Amino acid sequence: MKTLTEVVDADTIARRVASLGAAITADYEGRDPVLLGILKGAVPFLADLSRSLPAEVEIDFLSLTRFGEEGRVSISVDSATSITGRHVIVVEDIVDTGLTLSYLHGLLETREPASLATATLIDKSTRRIVGVDLQYRGFEVGDEFLLGYGLDWNGRYRNLRSLWAVMDLAAFQDDPESLSRQVFAAETPIGS
Ligand code: IMP
C-alpha cells in the first residue's frame, strides 16, 4: 500500500478557491466583510481566497487553544479587529467533528457580529459530532488524515501546495522524513 497519495492537486485547489471567492464576492456585495482566519492552518487558504475578493476586504487572525476530548477551545491570541456589528467570515482549514468550530461560533457570537459565516477548505462531514453551518466549502472528503495546504502533522507539511492523504499512518509515523522527500519530489518547483 502507498503510504501517501496526492488527493487534490494545486491547480484544482486554485480553481475551487477562486470559485468560493466569486461566491463570497456576490453574496457580500455592499456589506464590507472581515475575514477571520484561524491560525495556523487557514493561512494558505485565506491568502488565496482573499485575493479572489474585492480589495477592500479586511483580514485578521486568531489562534485557538484546544483542551479536553470534548473539543473545548479558548482564544489564545485574539484578533485586533472589533467584530461587533461586522459581517464576519471565519476561515478554517478543515472541519472534522465540528467541536472546535461550534465552540468558536459560541465565543464569537458573544461579540455580537452583524452576521457570522464560515468558509472551510475541507469538510470531513462523515465525522461530524456537532452540527455546524458551513456556508462555503471547498472539498468534501472521507475520514483519511490529510496534509498540505495548511494542514499539518506535528507542525510540518503546511507549506505543501497540494493536499495529500496519509494511507498508512504507522508507516508515515515511522519514517516521516523520507515521506517528505517523496512529497517534495512530486511537486513542481516554483519558477519551472
Ligand atoms: P474538529 O474540532 O474535530 O472539527 O477539528 C478541527 C481541527 O482538527 C482542524 O482545525 C485541524 O487542526 C485538525 N484536523 C482534523 N482533521 C485533520 C486532518 O486530516 N489533517 C490535519 N489536521 C486535521
Q: For the chain, what's the residue count?
A: 192
What is residue 175's predicted lDDT score, i.e. its pLDDT?
82
Ligand 1 atom closest to the CA of 96, numbered from 1 = 4
**Could you tell me the distance, in angstroms and rounded to a whole number, from the CA of residue 100 to the centre of ligand 1?**
9
41 CB-side CA count, 13 A = 19
Choice among 48, 93, 96, 123 that is catalytic: 96
Residue 102 CB less than 6 A away from ligand 1 = no
Residue (of 6, 4, 12, 5) closest to 121 by Cα position: 12
Asked about 48 being catalytic, the answer comes back as no
Cα 86 to Cα 167: distance, rounded to the nearest angstrom: 42
- Count up the domains in the chain and report the number: 1
Which neighbouring-strand residues pair with 92? 120
Question: Residue 107: inside a domain, yes or no?
Answer: yes
Q: In this structure, what is the dihedral angle of CA atoms 124, 129, 132, 136, given to the nearest 10 degrees?
A: 0
CB atoms within 10 A of CB 183: 17
Residue 20's alpha-carbon distances to 91, 124, 135, in angstroms, are 12, 18, 10
Return the residue whose CA atom lies nearest to atom 16 of ligand 1: 96
Question: Residue 108: inside a domain, yes or no?
Answer: yes
What is residue 191's predicted lDDT score, i.e. its pLDDT?
59
Residue (of 131, 135, 81, 140) closest to 111 by Cα position: 81
Question: Residue 186: inside a domain, yes or no?
Answer: no
What are the φ/ψ torsions at residue 113 (nearest 5 degrees)? -70, 160
Supply the pTM of this predicted model. Answer: 0.92
Domain CATH for 29: 3.40.50.2020
Candidate from 39, 99, 151 with most ligand 1 atoms within 8 A of CB, to mutate:
151
What are the φ/ψ torsions at residue 47 (nearest 5 degrees)? -60, -45
Cα 23 to Cα 62: distance, rounded to the nearest angstrom: 24
Please tell me whether residue 119 adopts helix, strand or coil conformation: strand
Question: Residue 185: inside a domain, yes or no?
Answer: no
Residue 120 CB less than 6 A away from ligand 1 = no
Residue 123 CB less than 6 A away from ligand 1 = no
Cα 168 to Cα 61: distance, rounded to the nearest angstrom: 33
Q: 117 is in which domain, residue-wise?
A: 12-142
Ligand 1 atom closest to the CA of 71, numbered from 1 = 2
Candidate from 45, 96, 134 with most ligand 1 atoms within 8 A of CB, to mutate:
96
| Per-residue cell: 36 | 477571520
Return the residue whose CA atom lies nearest to atom 15 of ligand 1: 96
What is residue 94's predicted lDDT score, i.e. its pLDDT?
98
What is residue 188's predicted lDDT score, i.e. its pLDDT?
57
Question: Residue 24: inside a domain, yes or no?
Answer: yes
Question: Residue 37: inside a domain, yes or no?
Answer: yes
**Could you tell me the distance, in angstroms and rounded to a whole number, from the CA of residue 94 to the centre of ligand 1?**
6
Residue 113's alpha-carbon distances to 4, 55, 90, 110, 182, in angstroms, are 41, 21, 12, 8, 45
Question: Residue 159: inside a domain, yes or no?
Answer: no
What is residue 171's predicted lDDT score, i.e. its pLDDT?
83
Question: Residue 112: inside a domain, yes or no?
Answer: yes
pLDDT in tens, the chain (192 residues): 678 899 999 999 999 999 999 999 999 999 999 999 999 999 999 999 999 999 999 999 999 998 877 768 889 999 999 999 999 999 999 999 999 999 999 999 999 999 999 999 999 999 999 999 999 999 999 999 999 999 999 999 999 999 999 988 888 888 877 666 776 676 655 555
Residue 98 CB less than 6 A away from ligand 1 = yes
Task: Classify strands 4-8 and 163-166 as parallel, antiparallel or unpaired.
Answer: antiparallel
